[in-house]
């Protein structure tokens, strides 16, 4: 067994991540998948949005190296630009490796200084969605006003049904908005494409499925005048059984 060195990575296998922060254009969000081999080489894919635009599913390449501090290191992920994330692997994660990452004022071409933080978790391949799920999303509308959405849906055989959401767009609240849509098969990185219609807005989401019970969600395209959103998805237990009596 070879000991880790400063040129090897303490991370190995397939991971998903969700990162939020700011670039020179304003708020940004990135969700993606990266696979790391024994030599610290990285391959994967990611989805991205900021106020200037969105992109869905480009492949990434890069490297992972350890720091001199145990369970810490650097992830360098490149699409057309390189983002350098520092990471820490958290202890006591219940057998599933997970951690936190940060990008601090890296001068990324086109994006300018980038700062923010996120989370990552090791995942299986070929994960899928089936059953009841709740979700929470945040982002901004075309006027850069903050937007948030919480809701739920049932996923079965590629269809989303029994969905509704509460939407807050810059203080304008829309309760019980209808949610319908379709999900597609998982790719090699456990990324699922989905189309959702929420309150008359059509969104294309990528769902990075961490397990059958949770995942990271990001908007990779929307029609003109629609919000860009990112957040989390979690299985919903005992759906439909709540009452306030």
Q: State yes or no: pLDDT of 40 exceeds 70.
A: yes
pLDDT digits (tens, 9 = 90+) for 41-94: 999 999 998 888 777 878 999 999 998 888 899 999 998 888 999 999 987 656
Q: What are phi and psi of 4, to 5 degrees?
A: -65, 140
Question: In whole angstroms, what is the distance from residue 17 CA to residue 88 CA?
Answer: 13
Least confident interval from 98-102, 112-116, 204-208, 228-232: 112-116
pLDDT digits (tens, 9 = 90+) for 138-163: 998 888 889 999 999 999 999 999 99
pLDDT of residue 62: 95
CA separation, residue 221 to residues 28, 84, 204 (Å) = 14, 25, 5
H helix and E strand count, the chain:
0, 16
Averaged pLDDT of the chain: 87
Overall average pLDDT of the 96-111 stretch:
83
- pTM metric for this prediction: 0.90
């Amino acid at each position: 067994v070879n000991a880790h060195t400063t040129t090897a990575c303490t991370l190995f296998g397939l991971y998903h991540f969700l990162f939020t922060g700011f670039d020179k254009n304003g708020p940004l969000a990135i969700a993606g998948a990266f696979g790391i081999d024994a030599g610290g080489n990285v391959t994967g894919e990611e989805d991205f949005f900021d106020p200037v635009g969105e992109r869905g599913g480009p492949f990434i390449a890069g490297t992972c190296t350890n720091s001199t501090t145990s369970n810490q290191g650097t992830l360098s992920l490149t699409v057309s630009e390189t983002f350098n994330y520092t990471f820490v692997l958290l202890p006591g994660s219940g057998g599933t490796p997970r951690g936190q990452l940060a990008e601090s004022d890296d001068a990324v071409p086109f994006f300018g200084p980038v700062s923010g933080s996120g989370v990552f978790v090791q995942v299986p391949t070929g994960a899928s969605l089936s059953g009841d799920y709740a979700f929470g999303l945040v982002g901004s509308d075309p006027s850069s006003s903050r937007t948030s959405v919480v809701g739920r849906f049932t996923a079965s055989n590629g269809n989303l049904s029994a969905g509704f959401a509460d939407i807050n767009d810059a203080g304008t609240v829309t309760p019980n908005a209808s949610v319908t849509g379709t999900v597609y098969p998982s790719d090699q990185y456990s990324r699922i494409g989905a189309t959702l219609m929420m309150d008359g807005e059509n969104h294309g989401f990528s769902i990075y499925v961490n397990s059958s019970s949770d995942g990271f969600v990001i908007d990779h395209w929307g029609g003109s005048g629609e919000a860009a959103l990112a957040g989390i998805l979690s299985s919903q237990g005992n759906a439909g059984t709540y009452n306030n009596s």
